[in-house]
Structure 1
Amino acid sequence: MNQAVSSAAAATPRVVLFDFDGVLVRGDSFSGFLRVRVRRQAWRLALLLPLLPALPLLLLRRRGRRILLHCTVRLLLLGTSLSRYRALAESHARVQALRRGFFVPDAVSALRRHLLRGDRVIVVTGCEEHLARALLQAVRLDGVELVASRLRRSWLGAVPAVHNVGREKLRQMEAHGVEPPFACVYSDAGADLPMLLAAERAVLVNPGESLRARMQARLGSRYAEVEWS
C-alpha cells in the first residue's frame, strides 16, 4: 500500500507557479494596454474626471484602490464589446511582443526548463486572461496553463468580473482545481504573499531591499531569490 502511494506521488508532477507582470514581462501589461487606448481615444480621459475629488480617499485604503481600479477599467472600456476588446488585446499583444526587452529572457528560459523537467507550470496573474494568453502565444507558450483576471459582457461594454490579485489568486487556483502546497512560486510582488506562503520554495524575482527584508521575515527558510534580466 505504501509503495502504491509513493508511486502515485512520484507520478504526480510538481506544481510551479509564475506571476506574469514583472516576472515574465516587464511592467504592467494591462495598464499598458489601457494607456494605448487613452492615447488613441483621448476623450476617454474626460470620463475619469468625476473620480478626481474622491481620489485621495480612495488611495488611502486597499479597498479604495480596488474600487478605483474597477471604475477606471469600466470607464476606459465603456462601449467596448467583449469581442472587440479581445481583438484589440490580441493586436496590442502582437505589437508588444515585437518590442525589444518586453519579455524577460531569463524568466521565459526558467519556465521552459520547468516544462522540460515535467513540472506542471501555471501562470497566475492579475493581467486580463485574453491579453495574457495572446502575449504568451507570442513566445510560443500558448500551451501553458493560465489563471488570470477576467472581464464579462454588460450593456456598458466589457467590465471586470474577476480581479486576480492577492488572496484571490488562491481562490482562483482552487476553482482551477489546484490547491496548496505548491512546489515553487515565482513572483516580484508583496501582494503575492498569500501565494508565496503556500509554496515549498518561494522565489522573489529582482527584489529591492525593502521587499527582500519583508519577505525574508515572513517566508523564512522557504525564501529564495533570483536576479533575472
Structure 2
Amino acid sequence: MTTSYPVPRDDAQLVVFDFDHTLYDGDSGSHLFAWLIKRNPLRMLAALLITPLFGPLVAMLPTRRFGISGYVWIATFGLHKAREFNSIIDQYVLKHEPEIRSKLLPHALGVFAAHRRAGDRVVVATGAPPELARAILAFVAHQGVPVIGSEVGPRLGAVGATRHCHNEEKMRMLRERGYCDIAIAYSDSTADLPLLKAARAPVVVNPKHSRVEYFRKVLPAGTPILNWGCVGRGGDPLAN
C-alpha cells in the first residue's frame, strides 16, 4: 500500500537527511561496489592485487576518497554511461531486497516519515549514488523525496564520481537546487559539519564513538547526539 503525504508548501521548513549511518545502517555505496567486485573472479583478483597500495589509503581520512576510487574503478570497469550504472544499481537493490530492508533503521524512518506527514520539505543529501538511495527508499514508501548524491560519469573505461556530494560540496549542491534555508539537518559524520552548522537545529545521529566529544565542542550547546539503532556507534540510546 502506498503511503500518501501532503505536498509541502513553498514556505514549509526544510529538513535535510544524510543517508548512510543515518537512515541506513552502514555504507550503502561500499555494499554495492563490494557486490560488483565479488560477483566477478577477475574483479576479485584485481581488487586483491591493489589492496596493499589502496587499502592503507582507504584507512586514512585524507586519502580515503582516492583509495575508494581504485575499488570503484575495478567494480565498474566496462560501464560507460550513468544510465548503465543506474540499471546495475536497480538490479542490485532488487536482488538484495531482504538484506537491504534489514539495514534501514526503523526509528530513523519514523522520524523521516513524521517530517513528511507534517508537510516539511524533506531532502536526502548523500555521498552515495543518488539512484541507490532512491531505490532503497522506494522499499519503504518514500519514493518521490528529492535525493542529491554524488554525480557519476565515464572515467578511464569505467564509471566514477564526477562530483562528490561531500563536505562543502554537499552544501553547494544543495544551494544550487534551491535548498538554502535549512531548518533541521540529520547526519552522523564530521564530513557533514558544513551541513550541520548551516542548520538552525542540527541533530547528530549514530556518530562514531571517537567523534562524540568533537561534535559537542564544535556544535551549539544542547545539540542532540543520538543513536537511532546503529550497533557499535555512539550517541544517546533510544528511550525504552
Shorter-chain TM-score: what band?
A: 0.7 to 0.9
* Alpha carbons 2:33, 2:71 under 8 Å: kept: no
Displacement after TM superposition at 1:193 (Å)? 1.0
1:34-45 maps to which residues of 2 (within 5 A)?
34-45=33-44
Structure 1 CA distance for aligned equivalents of residues 154 and 10 of structure 2 = 41
Residue 136 of structure 1 corresponds to which residue in structure 2? 137
Comparing 198-207 and 13-22, the one that deviates more: 198-207
Counterpart residue number, 2:179: 178
- Structure with greater Cα Rg: 1
1:66 maps to what in 2? 65
Q: How many matched pairs? A: 218
Q: Matches of 2:54 and 2:155 in 1, distance apart?
A: 25
Instruction: Report the AA paired with residue 202 of structure 1.
Output: P
CA contact (8 A) 1:97 1:103 kept: no
When you count helix as a share of all residues, which structure comes out higher? 1
Q: SS at 2:219's partner residue?
A: helix
Letter in 2 for 1:226: L
Indicate if the aligned counterparts of 1:58 and 1:65 stay in contact, CA closer than 8 A.
Answer: yes
State TM-score, norm by structure 1: 0.85
Is 1:95 aligned to residue 101 of structure 2?
A: no
* 8 Å Cα contact 1:24-1:107 kept in structure 2: yes
Shift of 1:115: 0.9
Pairing 1:50-61 to 2, within 5 Å after superposition: 50=50, 52-53=52-53, 56=56, 60=60
Q: Which amino acid aligns with 2:129?
A: E
Alignment root-mean-square deviation, CA:
2.3
Whether the 8 Å contact between 1:73 and 1:160 is mirrored in structure 2 is no
2:191 paired residue number: 191
Deviation at 1:55, TM superposition (A): 5.4
Query: How big is the shift at 1:216?
Result: 1.0
Structure 1: distance between partners of 2:68 and 2:38: 18
Deviation of 1:205 after TM superposition, in Å, equals 1.1
One-letter identity of the residue aligned with 1:219:
L
| Structure with greater strand percent | 1
Q: Does 1:110 align with 2:111?
A: yes
Aligned-residue sequence identity (percent) comes to 28
* CA pair 54-154 structure 1, distance change in 2 beyond 3 A: closer
Amino acid at match of 2:91: S
C-alpha change, 1:51 and 1:27, in structure 2 (3 Å) is closer
**1:194 counterpart letter in structure 2:** P
In structure 2, distance between residues paired with 1:219 and 1:39 = 40
How far apart, CA to CA, are the structure 2 residues paired with 1:132 and 1:58? 22
Cα distance 1:96–1:187, how it changes in 2: closer, same or farther (>3 A)?
Answer: farther
Q: Where does residue 47 of structure 1 map in the other structure?
A: 46
Higher deviation after alignment, 38-47 or 164-173: 38-47
Gaps of 5+ in 2: 1-8, 230-240
Q: Identify unmatched segments of 5+ residues in structure 1.
A: 1-9
